Amino acid sequence: MRKLIQFFITHGSLFAYLCYAAICLILLFTFNPYQQSVYFSSAARISGSVYALSGTVTGYFGLQKANRELLAQNGKLQSELAVLRNTLALREAEDTLSRWVVPAVYPARVIVAKIVNNSVANKNNYITIDKGRSDGVVPEMGIVDQNGVVGVISTSSSGYAVALSLLNPNLRISCKVQGSENIGSLIWTGEDTRHAILEELTTNAVVNVGDTIVTSGFSSAFPEGLTVGYVVDAKKKREKFFSVKVRLAADFSTLNFVQVVDNRRPLEQKQIEEEAHRYE
């Protein structure tokens, strides 16, 4: 502190000069239009560049906020995109399935559903779909994809339904060889996911390799004539019934969208059948 005071004392004239010079400059820039204009334009240039610099710096601080906002927006857009893609896929699936699988002659109602869970590797395989009772999906309904029969609904909750896959030995489907009236029963033996066995064919049936196996229409799950698979091996045994090996039309490992077929028989048919059973 003492040194500072000493410094001021020894350089007193310098400080006095600086004070007077400052007063002069203030007067100069306050009362002289020319100097004032030069001062203002220079000051504006300097302050402008300082503002520009600070803008550049604060701009970087703002980037974090901008980044957060962009991320939020991005997420929103992506979820919207996912919804739209889903809708589009659903529409496409509806379109494809309606053109390929269910013949127009059947009055069957169809519900398009997306598969949310599917197993192929187990002994008993099940398929879960994202439509349930609230969409009209109830047990005993059949499900098909664009290639062929996939399974039958076994249980349904309000939003979901579980179906027995064709790859489940508990499911038997009444089938026939297309073009003939020989009825058989299709069952999966658990060997591989591409093939099943059509059993209980009568010995007089004529079956050739490559024949198409279709649903018979005798069960309430499927209308008549839906593709199930193709005969790959027609060995004939000298027995009362014989069986053929069938390659399944649906590829169970790549299932995505399916159609639930509402083929429940009209009330009238049900009543008459019940009546018939009563006379047995």
Partner 1 sequence: MNKQLVIRIVGILLVFLLQVLVCNRIVFWQCATPFVIIYLLLKMPSGVSPYSALTFAFFLGIVTDMFTNTPGLYALALVTAAFVHHYLINAIQYRDRGEESFTPSAAMLGWQGYTIYTTVLTLIFCTVLFCVDSLSFFEPSQLLMRIVGSTALTTLILLAVEWIYKKRG
41 vs 87 by CB, closer to partner 1: 41
Instruction: Sort 174 into a burial class: Cβ within 10 Å, 0-12 / 13-18 / 19+.
Output: middle
Give the start-end residues of each E strand in the chain.
109-118, 126-129, 142-144, 149-156, 161-165, 173-177, 183-187, 195-202, 212-215, 227-233, 241-248, 257-262
- Residues of the shown chain interacting with partner 1 in the complex, contacts defined by CB under 8 A: 12-14, 16-17, 20-21, 23-32, 34-35, 38
Q: How far is the CB of 48 from partner 1 (least distance, A)?
A: 18
- Residues facing 163 on adjacent strands: 127, 153
Smallest separation (angstroms) from partner 1 to the CB of 22: 10
Q: Least Å distance between CB 46 and partner 1?
A: 15
Token pair 């098909």 is at which residue?
144
The backbone region for 159, taken as left when phi is positive above 0, alpha when psi lies in -120 to 50, beta otherwise, is: alpha
Query: Smallest distance, Å, CB 10 to partner 1?
Result: 12
Helix, strand, coil: what percent of the chain each, to 5?
Answer: 40, 25, 35
Nearest approach in angstroms of CB 5 to partner 1 is: 17
Given the complex with partner 1, which of 17 and 218 has the nearer CB atom? Answer: 17
The 8-class DSSP code of residue 139 comes to T
> Alpha-carbon distance 256 to 84, whole Å?
17
